[in-house]
């Protein structure tokens, strides 16, 4: 009886696991790999229409799956470069378009889009695995030469953080860094039932247009400032910059730069700039949002016992007062505010990288 019961339990577990794998034409999809295939042809047509694809465009598609979106892209663009990690999907794409008039205009790259070198493209149109949303966004924005735009399907909450404005509850470091580099617009909301298998959350299509030229800012400096400001985005900047840990880091940078007499100027080399842009996405989890919840409100502020430390603290707070930032909160600051604040700190000899 015990052996029979164990066998029955194994069969039940096997059936449950099989129920989580979805099929299309005999090809299984795996949710764990972010494989959610667009099945609504009207939605695909809408994405194509909103992408503004030109007949001369080279189109980058990421995670093409079985090629439902790929087919429509080939109808409107010059060619499609499709990057697909799953070798089964690569084979399915090749079979689907083999012998068609589109076959010569489709190039399939098998590999991890986050690790492979991307070729030239004019526009990116993609329904991506949601777990790579943040690193992929910044990899695209670091690509050179810059593309015209990207129209991408994201998990809805991630998408709304991309487009969030100062004062919105979802406004965070992801919002600020992305909007520094690009204009971001929400195009349409997509229900989960438009996919096979359906994901657990709704999605949104977002349009990302890289800024040309890029703003005249040192991206390492920018990211250092924004990281500190959004560590507790609902605290006043005066409170944040009085923290002992923050002052310690800034004073260390200040002393090092004074000793080395280094100048912090804008980056000129395209390769180094691209690396810095990519770094803006580091540790930005796909659904990370800076909040004050769960953080210790009793974190120590710098006391005035050490005269030198107190002098540096006065310098930092003086910068905040000079720009009228001491009582302001990161959650309410716009791009221009952060740029102004960074400029004031740098003029005072205070740097963030």
127 is in an annotated binding site: yes
112 is in an annotated binding site: yes
38 is in an annotated binding site: yes
Per the CB < 8 A criterion, the answer to whether 170 and 164 are in contact is yes
Binding site membership for S-adenosyl-L-methionine: which residues?
Answer: 36, 38, 63, 84, 112, 127
Binding site membership: which residues?
Answer: 36, 38, 63, 84, 112, 127
């Amino acid at each position: 009886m015990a052996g029979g019961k164990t066998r029955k339990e194994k069969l039940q577990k096997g059936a449950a696991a099989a129920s989580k794998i979805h099929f299309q034409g005999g090809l299984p999809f795996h949710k764990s790999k972010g494989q959610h295939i667009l099945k609504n042809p009207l939605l695909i047509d809408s994405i194509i229409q909103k992408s503004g694809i030109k007949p001369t465009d080279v189109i980058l598609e990421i995670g093409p799956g079985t090629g439902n979106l790929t087919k429509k892209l080939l109808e409107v663009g010059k060619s499609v470069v499709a990057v697909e990690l799953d070798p089964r999907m690569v084979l399915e794409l090749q079979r689907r378009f083999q012998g068609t008039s589109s076959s010569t205009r489709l190039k399939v790259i098998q590999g991890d889009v986050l690790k492979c070198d991307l070729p030239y493209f004019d526009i990116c149109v993609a329904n991506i695995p949601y777990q790579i949303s943040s690193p992929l966004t910044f990899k695209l924005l670091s690509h050179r030469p810059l593309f015209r735009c990207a129209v991408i399907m994201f998990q809805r909450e991630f998408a709304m953080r991309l487009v969030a404005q100062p004062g919105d509850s979802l406004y965070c470091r992801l919002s600020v860094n992305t909007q520094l580099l690009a204009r971001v617009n929400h195009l349409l909301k997509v229900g989960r039932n438009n996919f096979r298998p359906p994901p657990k959350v709704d999605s949104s299509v977002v349009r990302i247009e890289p800024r040309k030229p890029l703003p005249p800012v040192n991206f390492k400096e920018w990211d250092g400032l924004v990281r500190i400001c959004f560590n507790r985005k609902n605290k006043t900047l005066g409170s944040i910059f009085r923290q002992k840990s923050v002052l310690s880091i800034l004073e260390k940078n200040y002393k090092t730069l004074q000793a080395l007499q280094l100048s912090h100027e804008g980056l000129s080399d395209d390769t180094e700039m691209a690396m810095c842009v990519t770094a803006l996405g580091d540790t930005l989890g796909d659904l990370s949002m800076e909040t004050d919840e769960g953080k210790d409100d009793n974190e120590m502020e710098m006391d005035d016992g050490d005269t030198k430390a107190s002098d540096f603290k006065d310098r930092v707070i003086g910068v905040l007062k000079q720009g009228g930032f001491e009582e302001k909160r990161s959650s309410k600051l716009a791009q221009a505010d952060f740029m102004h604040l960074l400029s004031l700190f740098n003029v005072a000899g205070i740097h963030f990288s």
